[in-house]
Chain A
C-alpha cells in the first residue's frame, strides 16, 4: 500500500503531497476528540475530587495594614490595568457579611501559613476561618492544645450531646466570636496536618458528601437525597420497563407475522430512540400528570383538592415517563439477542414436542437473558443521565421528604424527589452563591458521569462476553 502511494508520489509529486495531508487531518480529528474527552474527564476528576482535599490556609497582610485569612482560589488579570488579582475564600459570613474577597496581588505585603489557623464547617453560616482560643463546657475551660484535643473528642459525639459547649474563637484581625458547638460539623487545622492526615480528612469529606443532605441552599453539604432519589426512580423505571420491553420484543420477533407491517413497526420503534427526551417529558406531563393524575385526584383525593396529590409531578410519573423513554432501548437490545439465537434451537425444541410457550421460556429466553440484561443496563444508564423530561414531571430542587419513610404506605409514589442531574443544573444555575457551589457541582458532575460510565461499561463488557460465548457455540 505504501509502495503504491510512493509510486504515484514520484509521478505527480506536488499533487500527492497535498493529498497526503488529508489522512493527517483525519487522524487529527480522532486526536482532537480524544483530547476533548480526556480534558473533560480530567477536569471533572481534578476539580471534583480536589475540592475535598484540606486546602492550605493563608494569613494575608495588606499594604494598608489590614490582615485576613483565607484560601487562595484563583487569579485573573486586573481589568483595565496591569497585574493580577487573586480571589480568596475567607468564610466568616456571620462576621464579615461576605465569604469572598478579591485582592490585587501588588497590595499583598506578607503571606504566611501559620499552623494554628483552624477551619470550622458550621451549619448555619458556613465556614469559619480563624483561631481557636478556648472551649467552655459546664463551667470548665480548656485552652491551647488541650482545647483542640477536647474539640476533637467532642466532635465525635452526636450533635445533640454537645449542646452546652461553646467555642471561643478569634478571627485573624482580632474579632471575637462565641460559637455553640452544636452547630459545628467538623474542624481541622489544614496547615498543621501531615499528608496522611489530609488523606483521612479527604476520605472523610468524600464520605460526608455522599452520605449527607444539602445545606445552605444547596451550596454546602452532600448529595445523599439526590443519589437516593435517582436510584429509586431508576429502580422503579426498570421494574416497569423490563417486562414491557421484553414482551414487545418477543412479540415482534417470535409471534408477529414477519411482514411489511412488522418491519415498519420495527423501524418506528428504533426511531423512537432518537426522539428528543423533552418530547417524552411533554407526553408525561400532559398524559400522566394532568390526565391520569388529575383524574386520580378527582376520584380518590377530592377532599384535598385543589392542592393536587397525584395531579402534579411525582416519583411515579417520572418513572413512567422514563420507562417510556427507555422502552426502545430495551426492545432493540432484546430483539438483537433474540435474532442471534439460531433458528435450529427453536425448531429442535418444537420438533421434540414443546409448545411455543415452553420453547420460549425454556430455550429462547434463557439464551437471550444476557441481551435483555444489557438492554436494561443501557436503559438505566440513559435514564440516570436524563434531566430534561424530569424537569416537567416531578423533580424538585429540595425535596422536604424522602420518597421512602416509616409512614404508611412507606413508598410515597406521589412525592417529588431529588435527582443528581437536576441538582447539578439547579445549583449551578439558580443558586445564590454560584461561586461557592461550583466545587460541589464539579463533584456532583463527577459522580453522575462515573455512575453512567460504569453502567455503560458493564453493558459493553456483557455484550462482548455474550458475543464471544455465542461465537464459540456456533
Chain B
C-alpha cells in the first residue's frame, strides 16, 4: 500500500468523519425503515379503535381459527419428522453422510411456496380425494414399516448388519420406503373393500356425517409440513449437535445405553434449542401464504374436521386486500390481520432467539468447566 501523504491528513480526517456520519445515517435510516413496518401497521389499524364496533371480531375470528388450524396441521406432521430427522442426523448418522444430507434437507426450504402449493392443490389433493383410504393407510403404515425394518435388522445376521449399518439407515431406508409405499398402495383398495365394505369417503359421510372437501386440512398439513420441516430440522439439529460430547460420553460411561443417554441427557440439554426450533417453525407455518392459498380451498369455516378447508389470515390478505379500497373498513381489518401476524411472528422469533442465545452461553459454560 502507498504510504499516506501527510499533507492531506486533515482532509483524510474530514473524509473519515463525513463517511462515518454517512454510514451512521444510512444504518440508522435502514433500521428506522424496518421499524416503520410496525409503526405503519399500528397506525393503519387505529381507525378501527375509533369506529369501535364488534364487526372486527366477527370477521377475524374464522380467519384466526383457520390460521391456527393450518399451522397446527402442519406442525403435527412436521414436528415428529423434523425432530426425528434432527436426532438421527445429529447423533446416529455417519459424519460423511451428514455432511451431504444436511444441506440437501436444508435445500427443501428453498423450494418456493407456489411450487409446493401447486403440487398439493392440483396433484396431491385430487389424488387423495380418489384414494383417501390409501392415503390414510400410508400415514399409519410408514412408521410401522420403519419399526419393522428395525426389528428385521436386529434379527438379521451380523454380516448383513455390517453391510447396512444404522449410521447409513437414513439413506438405505429410502428404497425400503419406496417398496413399502408400493405394497401399501397395492393393498389399500383391497382392505378398503373387505373391512369397510366400499368407499371410505361415502362411509365417513353416511356414518359420521363428515363432509369431504378436496382441498382440506390434511392436504395443507402435508404440504405446509413439508415446507416447515427444514427450518425446524436445521435449528434442532444444530442444538443437538452442539451438545458437548462429554455429556453424552459421561452418561454412557455411567452405564446408560445410547438411547438413554440421548433421551435423558442430550435431549434435556438441547431442550431449549429444540423449543426455539419449534417456535420458528410455528412462526413460519402461521405466516405461509401461498401454500394455504392454493391447498386449502379458502372457505372461512369454523370446523375442526381434518377433511374440511379453512381460510387463513395470510391467504385472506392476499385475496382481499388488492380489491379493498384504501380507507374502507375491510382495508383496515385486513391490516389488523397483518399486524396480528407481524406481532405474533415477531414475538415468537424473539423468544426463540433469546432462548437460543441463552442455550449457547450455557453450552460454553459446560464446555469451559470440563
Contact = CB atoms under 8 A, between A and B. Distances in A.
Interface of A: 1, 4-5, 8-9, 16-17, 19-38, 40, 43-44, 76, 243-245, 247-248, 250-252, 254-256, 265, 267-272, 274-283, 285-287, 290, 313, 324, 327-328, 331, 353-358, 360, 362, 381, 384-388, 391-392, 421-422, 424-425, 428-429, 434, 438, 441, 445, 448-449, 452-453, 456-457, 460
A450 to B, nearest CB: 11
A355 B30 contact: no
A282 B118 contact: no
Contacts of B169: 23-24, 27-28, 30-31
Q: Is the interface of B mostly helix, strand, loop or mixed?
A: helix
Among B29, B103, B112, B256, the one with the most A-chain Cβ atoms within 10 Å of its Cβ is B112
Contact of A362 (B1, B85, B260, B349): B1
Nearest to A427: B118
Q: Is the interface of A mostly helix, strand, loop or mixed?
A: helix
A21 B151 CA distance: 7
Given A22-B259, A76-B130, A247-B30, A276 B345 contact: yes
Nearest to B22: A247
A30 B342 CA distance: 32
A36 B170 contact: no
Contact of B41 (A25, A245, A269, A279): A279
Contacts of B55: none
Contacts of B147: 21, 24-25
A44 B176 CA distance: 23
B182 interface: no
A271 to B, nearest CB: 4
B112 A387 contact: yes
B40 A283 contact: yes
A248 B22 CA distance: 11
Interface stretch (B31-39, B205-213, B300-308): B31-39
15 contacts: A16-B259, A21-B147, A21-B151, A23-B258, A44-B115, A248-B27, A268-B350, A272-B37, A274-B280, A276-B341, A277-B287, A286-B335, A392-B321, A428-B121, A445-B114
A24 B155 CA distance: 14
Contacts of A276: 286-289, 314, 341-342, 345
A445 to B, nearest CB: 5
B76 interface: no
A270 B335 CA distance: 23
A34 B23 contact: no
B275 interface: no
B259 A31 contact: no
B197 interface: no
A27 B92 contact: yes
Contact of B154 (A17, A354, A386): A17
B171 interface: yes
B20 interface: yes
B177 A244 contact: no
Contact of B30 (A248, A256, A313): A248
B30 A274 contact: no
Given A247-B27, A425-B293, 4 more contacts: A26-B92, A28-B143, A268-B34, A357-B16
Interface string B304-348: 000000000010011001100010000000110010011001101
Interface string B252-286: 10011111100100000000000000001001101
A271 B40 contact: no
B361 to A, nearest CB: 13
A35 B174 contact: yes
B183 interface: no
B290 A387 contact: yes
A268 B34 CA distance: 9
Contact of A30 (B20, B88, B118): B88
A24 B146 contact: yes
B217 to A, nearest CB: 19
Contacts of A328: 34
Nearest to B338: A282
A391 B290 CA distance: 10
B258 A1 contact: yes
A31 B287 contact: no
Contacts of A251: 23-24, 26-28, 30
Contacts of A287: 36, 40
Given A248-B26, A448-B115, A25 B252 contact: no
A28 B154 contact: no
B47 interface: no
Contact of A26 (B88, B153, B341): B88
Interface string B215-235: 000000000001001000100
B159 to A, nearest CB: 15
Contacts of B122: 428-429, 434, 438, 441
Among A16, A22, A324, the one with the most B-chain Cβ atoms within 10 Å of its Cβ is A22
Contacts of B257: 4-5, 8-9, 16, 19
A271 B349 contact: yes
Given A24-B149, A283-B41, A271 B34 contact: no
Contact of A428 (B82, B113, B118, B354): B118
Contacts of B72: none
